Structure 1
Amino acid sequence: MSSSNTLRAVLAGLALFLSTYGLALLFAGTITSERPNFPRDPQQAIAPSMALPSWASLLAPFDSGIRSSQALNSAFQAIQDGQSASGPGGGNDLARSQLTNALARTPYDAKLWLALALLEGQRDPNGPAAVEALRMSYFTAPNDIELMPVRLDTATRFDALADPDLRELVQGDLRLMLTRQPDQKDAVLSAYRRASAQGKAFLKQAIQTIAPTLLTTLRL
């Protein structure tokens, strides 16, 4: 084969690769946009979205969003299963592994960190792994309104508030929820109903400082 023919073959192969890559990114974008969301009411089930198509895994090398969407769906399913079972099983371990792999590629994804915190909390509510994952969800998205109700619920149900730095982060979320997001008050009340004794004491003290009129509602 002459050098000119070799060059043409290389250019044709490159064009085919770029076209395939572009189509893969296009499909990946449509799948990534279907990531499941955390509920506004922490007492609602944290449910996965529609199952991703079987061929979606083939696109994972082209877009880290595919991997994170798959990991988040698996985590939501494991969380849901764990809430209805006596204890975490193999699904919890698999979901945790998928989350940590996805976070290795997208460590700035606050949803993944919060899902990991919930899984770690199911496995060991008093363990440092749950606290650290929860802390990372605050650091990577400090003002994410969607995550605030579940973060508050998680922090006040587990022993996360024993960590002074995380306690300050939780109070910052609570302040924003009560002063700038009045529609989030129901989420605060919901978190209070599910909170541990330590969590209830924290919420009472923080609300006394931020929005004392809400204390009468807590006593109902």
Structure 2
Amino acid sequence: MTVGSYAIVSAVAEVTALGRTTSPADAAKIGARWTEYAPSPFGSELESNHALIAALQTIEPGRQRPTVLRSTTHTDSISRVRRSLSISPYNPELWLALGLLQLQRDPHDPVVVEALKMAYLVAPNDARLMPARIDMAVRFDALALPDVKDLVRNDIRLILIRRPESKSALVSAYRRASKLGKAFLEDAVESIDSSFLATLRG
């Protein structure tokens, strides 16, 4: 599955690379009209940032909005994130945003697992993403996959051994985790740093 995901990213990257337009020599000519039609590094990065902000704004209040409004907002945000990923397939934050948006709508949708795996694939050692990846994984079906379990366990190991300032993220993830997720976190923590197990359980 990981090999397949890598192939998807590579294919998307090659396709979008073929369609890139050379940036104007004069930076003053980079205007809204130009960036709208040409997926330059400037335009794609700006659109990715906007898509990510919109996604985060949708995710945060999602549980409190009426179902119909949430569904409409989610549909728009998911579409925008997907468009941005077609231009910037190596953006791990966008993959996480896609997974989190889909998680709110349907935790059992295969897109959730695939988005999480892509977030790992394109930025496996990005410490900023570890808390979000762990939290996302322990809340739904991803831990049923051995390769995902290994990836998440590695994040937990790195936090416990090298980033003790992030241990609170494990406690937060534990509180939100499913029954399977709690059992996984307990097992991982006990095998890596058993002294933290009592803190994890609260």
TM over 0.5: yes
Do the aligned partners of 2:171 and 2:201 also contact (CA within 8 Å) in 1? no
Task: Please say if residues 117 and 148 of structure 2, whose CA atoms lie closer than 8 Å, have aligned partners that are also in contact.
Answer: yes
CA distance in 2, matches of 1:24, 1:145: 37
Aligned to 2:124: 142
Identify the residue that residue 80 of structure 1 maps to in structure 2. Answer: 60
Structure 1 stretches of 4+ moved >4 Å: none
Kept after mapping to 2: 8 A contact 1:117/1:130: yes
Structure (1/2) with the larger helix percentage = 2
Counterpart in the other structure of 2:167:
185
Q: Does 1:195 align with 2:177?
A: yes
Name the residue aligned to 2:157. Answer: 175
Is the CA contact (8 Å cut-off) linking 1:157 and 1:195 kept in structure 2? yes
In our comparison, the structure showing a higher alpha carbon Rg is 1
When the two structures are superposed, what TM-score results if normalisation uses the length of structure 2? 0.79
Aligned residues: 173
Q: CA separation in 2, counterparts of 1:131 and 1:73?
A: 22
Which runs of 5 or more structure 1 residues have no equivalent in the other structure? 1-16, 28-54
Q: Could you state the TM-score of these two structures normalised by the residue count of structure 1?
A: 0.73
The 8 Å contact of residues 24 and 59 in structure 1, kept in 2 or not, is answered as no
**Aligned residue number for residue 3 of structure 2:** none
Q: Does 1:18 align with 2:17?
A: no
Q: Which moved more, 1:74-83 or 1:101-110?
A: 74-83
Q: 1:71 aligns with which of 32, 41, 51?
A: 51
81-90 or 158-167, larger mean C-alpha shift:
81-90
* Cα displacement string for residues 176-215 of structure 1 (whole angstroms, at most 9, x for unaligned residues): 1111101011111111111111100000000111111111
- Over the aligned positions, Cα root-mean-square deviation in angstroms equals 1.8
State whether structure 2 residue 139 is matched by structure 1 residue 157. yes
**C-alpha displacement at 1:59, in angstroms?**
3.6
* SS of residue in 2 equivalent to 1:126: coil
User: Is 1:214–2:157 an aligned residue pair?
Assistant: no
Letter paired with 1:141: A
Identity rate of aligned residues, in percent? 44
